[in-house]
Amino acid sequence: MPYRLGSVLIPVPQIRDRVEELAAAISADYAGRDLLLICALKGAAIFWADLCRAMTIPCQSDFVAMESYADATLPLAEPRFTKAASVSLEGRDILLIEDIVDTGHTITHLKRMLQAQSPKSIALCGLLDKAERREVEVPIEYCGFVIPNVYVVGYGLDYAQQYRHLPYIARVDEVK
């Protein structure tokens, strides 16, 4: 499909302000706890980098990557980690950092796989929520923005591995 970068949906200052608000809320809620941020690669990397630098409490970070289903149409029967966590999750307070919750399948699988490692708690911090598209219910304890059902790129999110470096979030339009 031919495509081109479309209009800006969320500009830089709005992202920056919201990330600071989320970091303040997380810092307040997790004060005195053993917080481990788990960043879901690759999409959440830029969000994680800004979020963790705005945190005002001690926290550690780790990274996971899931095999993603091509085209994001059909969930894999047995999804697996292409990169698993490299520290023990047992007894820890986990905050999963995701770029976007769309149908909800990816995050549901990821949470289930992390849950098997006996953390004390798992909560989700998602930058974007495409709520209209949800197929499985997913609680998002810290949500950046609810967005309409449009394909977006930038600030870590890609289309065919492109556009992750854009500092803002924009639409991708099909060229007819």
Binding site for ligand IMP (CB under 6 A): 43, 72, 98-107, 130, 151-153, 157
| Nearer of residues 30 and 155 to ligand IMP, judged by Cβ | 155
Instruction: Choose the binding region for Mg ion from 39-47, 51-59, 140-148, 158-166 (rule: CB under 5 A).
Output: 39-47
Nearer to ligand IMP, 86 or 161 (CB): 161
- Indicate which residue of 102, 129, 158, 173 is catalytic: 102
What is the Cα–Cα distance from 13 to 19, expressed in whole angstroms?
10
**Cβ-count burial 16-26 (b if 16+ within 10 Å, e if not):** eeebeebbeeb
131 and 146 Cβ atoms separated by less than 8 Å: yes
C-alpha closest to that of 47 among 66, 30, 61, 27: 61
Report how far residue 23's alpha carbon sits from residue 106's, in angstroms, rounded to the nearest whole number. 23
- Give CA separation, 44 vs 24, 35, 47, 118, 156, in Å: 18, 18, 5, 23, 6
Q: Is residue 43 near Mg ion by the rule CB under 5 A?
A: yes
Question: In whole angstroms, how close is the CB of 44 to ligand IMP at the nearest point?
Answer: 8
Report the partner that residue 31 touches, choosing among ligand IMP, Mg ion, none (CB closer than 5 to 8 A by kind): none
| Nearest residue to the partner Mg ion, using Cβ | 43
Q: What is the amino acid identity at position 155?
A: Y
Whether residue 102 lies in the annotated active site: yes
In whole angstroms, how close is the CB of 159 to ligand IMP at the nearest point? 7
Q: Which residues bind Mg ion (CB under 5 A)?
A: 43
The catalytic residues are 102
